[in-house]
Structure 1
Amino acid sequence: MTDLPRRLAAEALGTGLLVAAVIGSGIMADALTADDAVALIANTLATGAILVVLIALFGPISGAHLNPAVSLVFALRRNLSVGEAGLFMLAQVVGGIGGALLAHAMFDLPLIELSQKIRSGPSQWLAEAVAAFGLVAVILGGIKVQRAAVPWLVGLYITAAYWFTASTSFANPAVTIGRAITDTFSGIRPADTPAFIIAQFIGALIAMALAGWLWTDTPQRETA
């Protein structure tokens, strides 16, 4: 197993690059088009693509959780110790904040700008629970039946979830925190982040419970 410092570095770096891609692509898209649908397509493609790359590269080092909700699930499944999970979550949040700062620096914006974009209400919270539920179910199901495909499964799921969830599928507490300090296309008002994060953890825990039953005794396969 890779030593803990390198695993934490992978989680911080991977989450940082993910947030930089989410925010940076949103800034670029917003600068190039006044059409919100076109901007969201660009933001979606960049996010899905970077997830495939990051999970493929960092998976062998840390598992490429890049998400506190995923790390919590792995700790509850005893694939990760409680102490390691706490450090993973801290590394992810720090990385996510760093990714937001990096995106701003690349586009010559103030390093921190608290978002004014309102994302609130029961439909948004439900969407975040669904987004996180689907993400964790895809990860756990993919590990069980088609491990080599997990980077693609996650990237494709998030690409789809951008469009079928009302919240555009944050599905990640660390990413949510990072997006709270950018007043750009992909931002979320800081006051709205706690409810998003709670919904994400709830969705992840429901997925964990279902996956433990649904894929019980399912043999791992190389192809679908």
Structure 2
Amino acid sequence: MARQFTRADRLIGQFDAALRTLVPGVAQQIRLSPATADIQDEPLDDDERRRAEGLMRINHTGEVCAQALYQGQSLTAKLPEVREQMEEAAEEEIDHLAWCESRIKELDGHTSVLNPLYYAASFGIGALAGAVSDKVSLGFVAATEEQVGKHLEEHLHTLPTGDRRSRAVLEQMAIDEAQHAQQALEAGGARFPAPVKLGMTLMSKVMTKSVYRL
């Protein structure tokens, strides 16, 4: 018989997930990074390296936010199958977190010092969305993944041409995020109206501007 987890069990799990997300070097990938050994960068000058590092830091923080969003939603989701979907999506996103962190290290950079702040904010938003309804919660996932996809597309155009390893990571992330968005809609997620999506876009711009160098 499957164990029935209590709210206390789930809270302990959320705390563990937060530590695994925020403590550098803890996130463990399941899939190998797309930046395999046979993909080598062309020489990058200092400006190109700093630009690549900043972009990958943004993407890493985006994955921190995704983890927090999914964890918050799983805590308050009404239906067990929706809770399980959120938890599964969070596990898949761990790969992205580990890939981005690894690439930042390769670029001699650091993850954002603002990650705990954005984790807390995203967790709260996710928990609130889950408390409203599963339909809203799934819709928020779809809309968020759409925003992430736009960021990834923009970054693929602005990465230094010679940064092949970061490009490989972002290309696979874009495929995964599009799949997560589609799965959320197919599971019954609401399609958010344009004004809501505009607000989400403005909030994401605050994040990208603040973590590019921090």
Both proteins in one fold, TM over 0.5: no
User: What TM-score, normalized by structure 2, do the two folds share?
Assistant: 0.31
Q: Output the TM-score relative to the length of structure 1.
A: 0.30
